[in-house]
Amino acid sequence: MDLSLFERRRYTQGETPIEYLANLTDLLGGPEIYLKHDDLLGLAGGGNKTRKLEFLVADALRQGADTLITCGAIQSNHCRLTLAAAKKEGLHAMLVLSEIIPGSYREDAVGNNFLYRLMNPLEIHVVSGTCDLNIAMLEHAEILRAKDYKPYIIPMGGSNAIGCLGYIACAKEIIVQSEKLGIDFTHVVTPTGSCGTHTGLLMGLRGSGVKTPVIGMSVNNPSDKHIRRIEKLIQHVNGELFSKRKIPITDDDIIVFDEYIGSGYSLPSEGLKEAVQLLARYEAILLDPVYTGKAMAGLVDLIRKGHFKKTDKVLFLHTGGSPALYHYPDYTL
């Protein structure tokens, strides 16, 4: 897995730190809990999509694009970071936002919506939650081409073969940090949404000969749907990017829990409030209620159910998203 073969922009200086959560570990009675701070990645507010965008934006520039088009929910961290990357590179950006809950979009909302306005995209289009976002982006791309723009479409979450490279790179970073710290992580836990982060972590570890289980905590869909999506992404990465040396992944490698979604994407779930409060009040770490809060709720529940040994060393991937926290105070207080 020679990532130097792929063009890449750099939006973060150095590696993101790994922190031992001593207070949370003591509170729960083990296993040892560590946290990978991808909330400290570069661009406006940080978060996991920054890693994907390093490769996606490089591809857009290679193709001569002057406008990035992407989509997400109305409080999308991915849209915020894509817009930030566009501004960093002197590009335009168009955002297509899905109003999953009818009537929930407000132009003057705080959180990521405030940051959209602050960074000033070329256009924001809000569509119904039933709208096919891929078709919507294609239609807007044609309109922009008619106006002599050169658009480049980035899928939801940056989750395609090129985007997965970001977390293949992260997996290699974790391996190096593990060696430096003298810690053999027994599990890696990540939020699973559009599946690019989960897929990249899994492929990066297995491609480096590391068998550590990657546990995904679904924030939106049943586990079988995520498993099919991860399998498809693996096929695309191997077929499009590593065809000469495919990364072997078995069915047993793909692990997704879907018990912590609650009533739906961006809606509250059982254990969410407690998880966000535990991290804030015992470790001074901010989780968001859409991704990391639900994933941490899942980790806490699995620990209480005895899923892990007391001697295990679990690495939780903090994928960021704290700007969205300010939009959902009712979920966390």
Residues forming the active site: 76
* CA gyration radius, the chain: 19
* CA 260 from centroid of its chain's CA atoms: 17
Q: State yes or no: cis peptide before 31, omega within 30 of 0.
A: yes
Structure tokens at 281: 């009040």
Q: SS3 string of 91-153?
A: CEEEEEEEECCCCCCCCCCCCHHHHHHHHCCCEEEEEECCCCHHHHHHHHHHHHHHCCCCEEE
- Using DSSP, state whether 176 is helix, strand or coil: helix
H/E segment holding residue 33: strand 32-37
Burial state string for 293-322 with b = 16 or more CB within 10 A and e = fewer than 16: bbbbbbbbbbbeeebbeeeebbbbbbbbbb
DSSP β-bridge partners for residue 20: 34
Gap between the Cα atoms of 162 and 233, Å rounded? 10
- CB-neighbour burial class of residue 231 (10 A; exposed 0-12, middle 13-18, buried 19+): middle
Gap between the Cα atoms of 159 and 237, Å rounded? 11
Residue indicated by tokens 């976002």: 133
Amino acid at 137: M
